[in-house]
Chains A and B, each alone.
Chain A
Amino acid sequence: MPTLVFLEHHGGELQKGSLGVLAKAASLGDAAAVIAGPGASALAGEAGRYGAAKVWACEDEQVAQAVPQPRVDVLAQVVADGGYDTVLFANSVLAADVAAGLAARLDAGLNWDLTGIEFQDGELVGKRPALQDSVYADVGWTGTPRLALFRAGSFDATPTGGGDPETTGISPAYRPYSTAVKLVGQDAEAASGPSIEDADVIVAGGRGLGAPESFTLAEELAKALGGAVGATRAVVDAGWYPYSAQIGQTGKTVSPKLYVALGVSGAIQHKVGMQSSGTIVAINKDPNAPIFEFSDLGVVGDVHEIAPKLTELVRQRKR
């Protein structure tokens, strides 16, 4: 299974998510990587450490900006030149558009939102959570190349100890429409902390916090963890926290890597908005709270006691 992994880089660094996918691909067989954009060749060594035996690097002016379509041209060329039968992507705004464009270009099957991939009886099978993660489907491909887009954080980006890869420059023919989109302005993200949709860590407060003032416990912990604050409907209804932070059926659906629930009972209306979070830690004084049924770590105790200590310990670790 010669596999190609699309590596995304930003600010001179390869993205962790795509390196995780590369490491996974290397664990399954021969893996190559494609890097498109300024400084691509310089990153080949790094790709090698995560398992790429070969790196295709494109530094054409057409791929200078983070737009998908010229990258479809690059990938189509690499797939043809390298004879890859599998192309893997770590989900991102850019990668999703590249993967879908490539699927249409090559008439290739694309399975998306995968959280895992493995061989079953010699066939490649993807794991695809569906219906708010209540069902896990095994998905496959009926032809090659097979394209797969993985959910963020599906694989750890662990170096595989590989050496310097063979690096090949690539400069495909670009289709006119592929290069029609022009970047005319750019703003770095405002520095006010991540929004709950984008945050890797969410600290959510529920009615168990007891009073609106206690939301500072959630805010402090979120700050220490570099995350955002979420809220249950009950506390939003009670006016303790704004609606924009509401997580659940009638609020936002989130899937951070870490979800810390402070005084959240875990009613189904809340659960459906956060159950696909990576790791769930819950603190609640009611040992029968439903949240414990879907927490990775449940702590029965007083959130007012535990949260401040936890915040302090997290801060100490970060120092």
Chain B
Amino acid sequence: MKIAVCVKHVPEGPAHLDPSTKRLDRSGEGALNHFDANAVEEALRLKGESDIEVVAVSLGPQKALDSLRKALAMGADRALLVSDDAAAGSDLVATSRLLAAALEREGADLVLFGQQASDADGAVLWAAVAERLGRPVVSQAMELAVDGGSVRVKRQTEFGYDTLEAPLPAVVAVSDAINEPRYPSLKGIMGAKKKPQDVLSLAGLGVDAGDVGEAGSRTTVLALGEPPARGDARKIEDDGNAAQAIVDFLAEKRLV
């Protein structure tokens, strides 16, 4: 059995947007999106001592190898990075196309995602990738078990807990409540450098440059602006009636 874990290399430290491209500035240092560490952990937990192969897959600049190495140090067996300048600036449509192509190539039985990207706050990629792969998808998994040819997931929604079953191959996005990611051991970190790390370009994947990057995207950032000032911010001194003033304010905002 093979599990592919999709991981993202996100900027570390104070993030900012490049005013010219209006994209997130990814030139600085980065790290493994911490939500993805839950997905790596879950793959490793499923693997245990078995011969399941765990492949960490990422799209991004060459530096994303650092995040893949972290996954390897935690215990993943292999890493695949799809890196191509032409893919920069891909939106959901383009990113999902490229990632699906990479996953198609891997042919994993189970594809895992973390619950969101800490940089773009996105929590949508798995469903788009599953659609492109033509596979069932379950998100927000807080418990995950693989049983023969199917996967059983307990998930939390706004209305309670659902238990769902899907046949493999399937795509699952795990919540950060599913586990506590392990720290890579020193042996793991040292061993990571020797594990296979493949880097593929668009050509290597057989994806056309026009289908990814800005050309392949269907959304665009038009302008960047300041957040709106908090509307009619009020400050009052308590004259003994502050509690009433607060209730009136909440009532006006229909919050009580």
Interface residues of A (CB under 8 A from B): 10-11, 66-69, 72, 92-94, 96-105, 107-113, 125, 129-131, 133-143, 149, 156, 175, 177-178, 180-189, 198, 201, 225, 257-258, 279-281, 283, 287, 292, 294-302, 305-307, 309-310, 312-314, 317-318
Contacts and interface: CB of A to CB of B under 8 A. Distances in A.
Contacts of A310: 243, 246-247
B110 to A, nearest CB: 14
Interface centre among A129, A178, A181, A280 (most CB of B within 10 A): A181
Given A93-B157, A142-B218, A104 B249 contact: no
Given A93-B140, A181-B138, A279-B253, A149 B124 contact: yes
Nearest to B91: A109
Interface stretch (B65-73, B78-86, B229-237): B229-237
B202 interface: no
A316 B119 CA distance: 43
B221 A180 contact: no
B205 interface: no
A131 B170 CA distance: 32
A291 to B, nearest CB: 11
B256 A317 contact: yes
Given A142-B218, A143-B218, A181-B137, A92 B158 contact: yes
A257 to B, nearest CB: 7
Contacts of A257: 255
9 closest cross-chain pairs (CB), A and B: A301-B238, A109-B218, A309-B243, A185-B163, A100-B127, A100-B124, A109-B219, A104-B131, A104-B128
Contact of B164 (A67, A149, A187, A299): A67
B163 A105 contact: no
Q: DSSP class of B's interface residues: helix, strand, loop or mixed?
A: mixed
Nearest to B139: A97
Contact of B243 (A66, A100, A313): A313
Contact of B237 (A177, A178, A301): A301
Contacts of A317: 247, 251, 256
Given A69-B137, A142-B218, A305-B238, A136 B225 contact: yes
Contacts of B48: none
A137 B159 contact: no
A141 B246 contact: no
B160 interface: yes
21 contacts: A93-B157, A103-B92, A105-B131, A110-B218, A134-B227, A137-B221, A138-B225, A140-B222, A143-B218, A149-B124, A180-B136, A185-B154, A198-B158, A281-B249, A287-B237, A298-B233, A299-B238, A300-B238, A313-B243, A313-B244, A314-B256
B165 A182 contact: yes
Name the interface size band of chain B.
35 or more
Given A186-B162, A300-B235, A108 B230 contact: no
A93 B161 CA distance: 12
A132 B28 CA distance: 18
Contact of A104 (B122, B132, B234, B253): B132
A181 B156 CA distance: 16
Given A140-B220, A181-B166, A292 B235 contact: yes
Given A135-B226, A201-B255, 8 more contacts: A66-B159, A109-B93, A109-B220, A140-B221, A141-B219, A142-B219, A185-B154, A310-B243
B122 A112 contact: yes
A300 B136 contact: no
B224 interface: yes
A183 B93 contact: no
Contacts of B230: 280, 294-296
B238 A189 contact: no
B162 to A, nearest CB: 5
B178 interface: no
Nearest to B129: A104
B12 to A, nearest CB: 14
A27 to B, nearest CB: 18
A297 B247 CA distance: 11
Given A180-B167, A309-B243, A313-B247, A107 B123 contact: no
Contact of B135 (A107, A177, A184): A177
B164 A181 contact: yes
Given A97-B127, A136-B226, A137-B223, A297 B16 contact: no
